[in-house]
Amino acid sequence: MIYVVNFPFCNFFSLERYLRVRGRPYQILSLRDRLSSSDQVLLPGVGTFGQAMSYLRDQQLAPLLQDHVDQGGSLLGICLGMQILFEFSEESPGISGLGFLAGGCVPLPTALSFHVPHIGWNHLVSPPKKSSCSELFDFLPLGGLSRSDYYFVHSYVVKPSDSSVISACFEHPVGPLCASVHARNISGVQFHPEKSGPDGYALLDQLLDVNSNA
Amino acid sequence: MKKRIIPSILLRGGTQVCLSQQFTPWRTVGVLAQNLRLHVKRSADELLIINLDQAGSCNQFVCPERVLRLIRQDVDIPISYAGGIRTAADAALCINAGFDKVYITSAFIDDPTALKSIADVVGSQSLGLIFPYMRKDDGGMRVWDYRTRLFTNSTVQLSIETSVTLGVGEVILYDVSRDGTLTGFDPLVVADVEKCQPSIPILLAGGAGDADDICRVLSSPWIQGITASSIFALTEATPVTIRQRCVDHNIPMRRCAHLNQ
């Protein structure tokens, strides 16, 4: 079963459409739910780091998520949902994230050819020092670019302490920045596959299938 | 960064889609369900709904349920809403209901500081401003109030600077005099934006008549996209054909693997 955390200010209806169109049964996650390791939890999210963590604390969902991850259950964070997998964000100083992955979120640097917020479609590139072969992203052999573009909308970017968890990057004048992470049973994407048309839906299919086999 | 082609859908009378000329509703060209499906199928990069029934109204904001139902049914790309949003609660209602961004105009004209509280709640990335503008006799760009149909005291350049400090994430510069004319974008607007060097994305609206008009403005690094409606209703241009023309001019555009299969 897929469980969705229904944050306020989240892209729930976009995700709900994907799950409905693809015929994937789901439930809204609540404190009463007893998750098994074969369940998958989706953390969507739009808004601020502080708002999202405050919701999880108020609903007492953070310990539930921790137990799920500890039991080997898979977790997929989308956009803000990926950022809160980490320990902190400079967007909301003093507020701790879920801390499932080491590192935090920092403001996206502004540049002449890169306006912030990063709003719009962008391609992915394979992370530095990793081969272009990826279970998830079909990087082109020449140049290491993804075959499709995905929709981004964010002002902060994740900076993992362990760069080996980065599974894809987006290009920025300062160098490649983290676009997705994958470590054990936890994965996250900074962009919105549920808003990226048929190519995004196909990627979500893969993300959920890979996670269910993890 | 990839440049964006954003069809705008003007709604009036519920879910009727109309075109405007110089910010006056002109003719009805269809219904929302049909328009949404068409634009999604034609691979638009985003959609913008402008609800004329609520624009400029001081009544209690209501997120139109019929519109929401159709969006949830048919749209798998980003979609924004404009029309009647004045407070953080209005904006939050729209974001929670399924829109990705909201755009504001009259609330900014009446009280620019209202934007700060909206940005604090929904985040800069979900808040945009639409500046309708006209040029005065001296050539200066002035924000134009569509309710009174008069110039305001604000220059567009100053308004962009103010909006950035208040946390707005994106601005659409909408040339009222060219709205619905298909005669091309304001030939001076790109140079004016380049002088401002805004840190946030700037989109242009008003006047797009063919793919070459769009290529001309998108070739500037300071213009991140265009929004238009008449070109998609009255000509054979589609987001796909426009995108191809832009790619031919080495403008970075979204790539869709599913279109190549």
Domains and CATH numbers, chain A: 2-212 (3.40.50.880)
Average pLDDT, chain B: 93
Compute the average pLDDT of residues B2-27.
93
Cβ neighbours around A202 below 10 Å, total? 16
Among A13, A119, A147, whose Cβ lies nearest the Cβ of B125?
Answer: A119
List chain A residues with CB under 8 Å of B96. Answer: 8-10, 12
For chain B, give the percent of residues with pLDDT over 90: 83
Q: Which helix (H) or strand (E) holds A186?
A: strand A186-189
Q: What is the pLDDT of residue A69?
A: 96
Q: What is the pLDDT of residue A66?
A: 96
Choose the catalytic residue: A10, A68, A79, A91. A79
The structure tokens listed for A101 are 């992955």
pTM above 0.80, yes or no: yes
Q: Indicate the SS3 state at residue B230.
A: helix
Q: What is the pLDDT of residue B58?
A: 77
Q: What is the pLDDT of residue B103?
A: 97
In this structure, of A57-66, A85-94, B86-95, B241-250, the range with the lowest mean pLDDT score is B86-95
Q: What is the pLDDT of residue B244?
A: 95
The structure tokens listed for A110 are 């502004």
Q: What is the pLDDT of residue B57?
A: 77
Q: Does B112 contact chain A (CB < 8 Å)?
A: no
Q: What is the pLDDT of residue A131?
A: 58
Residues B199, A110: C-beta atoms closer than 8 Å = yes
| B174 and B208 Cβ atoms separated by less than 8 Å | no
Residues B123, A110: C-beta atoms closer than 8 Å = no
Q: What is the pLDDT of residue A134?
A: 61
Q: What is the pLDDT of residue B77?
A: 96
Q: Does B98 contact chain A (CB < 8 Å)?
A: yes
Q: What is the pLDDT of residue A81?
A: 95
| Residue written as token pair 């070459």 | B212
pLDDT under 70: residue ranges of chain A:
130-136, 142, 211-214
Q: List B residues 178-217 in contact with A (Cβ-Cβ < 8 A).
A: 198-201
Taking alpha carbons only, the member of B235, B233, B255 closest to residue B244 is: B255
The Cα–Cα gap between A187 and A203 comes to 13
Q: Does B124 contact chain A (CB < 8 Å)?
A: yes
List chain B residues with CB under 8 Å of A198. Answer: 76, 256, 258
Buried b (16+ CB within 10 A) or exposed e, B111-146: ebebbeebbebbbbbbbbbbbbbbbeeeeebbbbbb
Q: What is the pLDDT of residue B170?
A: 96
Render pLDDT for B186-208 as a digit per residue (tens, 0 to 9): 999 999 999 999 999 999 999 99
Residues A120, B124: C-beta atoms closer than 8 Å = no
In this structure, of A22-26, A128-132, B125-129, B166-170, the range with the lowest mean pLDDT score is A128-132
Choose the catalytic residue: A10, A105, A118, A194. A194
Taking alpha carbons only, the member of A183, A190, A192, A191 closest to residue A210 is: A183
Taking alpha carbons only, the member of B236, B135, B217, B139 closest to residue B178 is: B135
Q: What is the pLDDT of residue A173?
A: 93
Q: How far apart are the CA of A71 and the nearest CA of chain B, in angstroms?
A: 32
Q: How far apart are the CA of A140 and the nearest CA of chain B, in angstroms?
A: 12
Output the CA angle B186-B153-B112, nearest 5 degrees.
95
| A172 tagged catalytic | no
The Cα–Cα gap between B54 and B12 comes to 9
| B196 and B232 Cβ atoms separated by less than 8 Å | no
Strands (E), chain B: 4-12, 16-21, 24-31, 47-51, 79-82, 101-104, 127-135, 141-145, 150-155, 170-175, 202-205, 225-228
Among B97, B123, B199, whose Cβ lies nearest the Cβ of A115?
Answer: B199
The structure tokens listed for A97 are 């994230």
Q: Which residue has the higher pLDDT, B239 or A126?
A: B239
Compute the average pLDDT of residues B19-23.
93
Q: What is the pLDDT of residue B260?
A: 63
Q: What is the pLDDT of residue A214?
A: 59
Q: What is the pLDDT of residue B98?
A: 87
Pairing between strand B101-104 and B79-82?
parallel
